[in-house]
């Protein structure tokens, strides 16, 4: 009996497993969902594996959203046990955030690889600056704005997160804390925002990339099943090691490291366009 030869795929799978492990380690170290880390790491991995550079960025963003689905679901379940999640806000965002995600995916589908790099680099640079500056004394109110204001915020968070392939944690934390909510509740609620972003994002990037002839094998639209299945387990396994390493550093040291990482990624993407 003859069996299919999977040996050509072995280096690819090993590379992606290592990619997931590295991203998970950094995600655990910096205390983020991993999207801001997955996208640049996946991008360079895909380019190294000879994926068409014209869609490597699209594929990285879509695959990043797919990878953070199980993480966001697990995180939401854990935070709900502590009754720290603002479920009222999440229910109000059930339409606004996914709608923003779809808009972001449509923008990404129409954008070139260079334009996506500029968008990612711009947002990453601003987030990096925020991390380097530290705690900003941003106070916009004692409680969240009305339904219209909250809906607009959810839409914007969905769009930006979809364009970057992130779970929206940093964006939501900034929004909620600026309106008087505790960082503890903001972080807990962000786990639910991640679910509202990742699941619609997975579907949207599958649809907008469907049938693209430049896609590598085993892709569903702009979702690389090979990368998602190889990265997700190693990422989940590596994250606790990063978290343990994080305890050896102060919160401020972690913010500085993550801020420098984001700015380095932003500058590297911009440098590649020059």
Written as one string, the DSSP assignment of 175-218 is HHHHTT--HHHHHHHHHHHHHHHHHHHHHHHHHHTTT-TTPPSS
Residue 75 has pLDDT above 50, yes or no: yes
- At residue 201, the pLDDT reads 94
Q: Is 37 in contact with 193 (CB distance < 8 Å)?
A: no
Q: What's the Cα-to-Cα distance from 264 to each of 48, 104, 222, 261, 270, rounded to whole Å?
A: 19, 24, 25, 5, 10
For residue 9, pLDDT beyond 50: yes
Cβ proximity of 34 and 165 under 8 Å: no
Query: In this predicted structure, what is the pLDDT of residue 3?
Result: 44
So where are the chain's domains? 8-273
Is residue 166 a contact partner of residue 62, using CB atoms and an 8 Å limit? no
pLDDT band at 218 (very low <50, low <70, confident <90, very high): confident
| Pairwise CA distance, residues 274 & 264, whole Å | 15
Confidence at residue 269, expressed as pLDDT on a 0 to 100 scale: 78
Residues 6 or more apart from 141 whose CB is under 8 A from it?
178, 179, 180
The number of beta carbons lying within 10 Å of the beta carbon of residue 250 is 10
Given this model, what pLDDT does residue 29 score?
Answer: 64
The values of phi and psi at residue 77, to 5°, are: -60, -40
Q: How far does CA 100 lie from the centroid of its chain?
A: 15
Q: Count CA atoms closer than 13 A to 197's CA, side-chain side.
A: 37
The alpha helices in 31-112, defined as continuous H runs, are 35-48, 53-81, 87-110
Question: What is the average pLDDT value for the chain, to the nearest integer?
Answer: 82
pLDDT at 2: 45
**pTM of this structure:** 0.82
**Would residue 138 be called left, alpha or beta, if left means φ above 0 and alpha means ψ between -120 and 50 degrees?**
beta
Q: Any idea of the CA torsion for 36, 38, 39, 40, to the nearest 10 degrees?
A: 90
* Phi (first) and psi of residue 223, to 5 degrees: -120, 115
pLDDT one-digit tens code per residue, 113-142:
888 988 888 888 888 887 787 665 667 777
Predicted confidence (pLDDT) per residue in 27-57, tens digit: 666 656 667 778 888 888 888 888 899 999 9
Percent of the chain with pLDDT strictly greater than 70: 88
């Amino acid at each position: 009996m003859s069996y299919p030869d999977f040996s050509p795929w072995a280096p690819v799978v090993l590379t992606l497993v290592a990619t997931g492990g590295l991203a998970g380690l950094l995600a655990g170290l910096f205390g983020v969902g991993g999207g801001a880390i997955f996208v640049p790491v996946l991008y360079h991995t895909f380019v190294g594996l000879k994926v068409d550079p014209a869609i490597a960025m699209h594929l990285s963003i879509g695959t990043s959203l797919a990878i953070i689905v199980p993480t966001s679901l697990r995180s939401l379940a854990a935070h709900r046990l502590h009754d720290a999640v603002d479920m009222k806000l999440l229910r109000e965002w059930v339409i606004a955030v996914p709608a923003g995600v779809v808009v972001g995916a449509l923008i990404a589908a129409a954008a070139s690889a260079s334009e996506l790099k500029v968008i990612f680099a711009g947002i990453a640079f601003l987030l990096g600056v925020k991390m380097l500056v530290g705690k900003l004394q941003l106070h916009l109110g004692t409680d969240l704005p009305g339904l219209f204001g909250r809906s607009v915020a959810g839409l914007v968070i969905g769009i930006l997160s979809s364009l970057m392939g992130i779970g929206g944690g940093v964006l939501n934390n900034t929004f909620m804390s600026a309106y008087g909510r505790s960082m503890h509740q903001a972080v807990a609620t962000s786990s639910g925002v991640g679910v509202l972003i990742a699941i619609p994002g997975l579907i949207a990037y599958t649809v907008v990339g469907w049938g693209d002839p430049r896609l590598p094998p085993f892709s569903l639209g702009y979702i690389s099943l090979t990368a998602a299945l190889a990265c997700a387990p190693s990422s989940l396994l590596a994250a606790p090691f990063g978290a343990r390493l994080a305890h050896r550093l102060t919160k401020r040291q972690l913010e500085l490291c993550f801020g420098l990482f984001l700015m380095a990624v932003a500058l590297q993407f911009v440098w590649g366009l020059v």
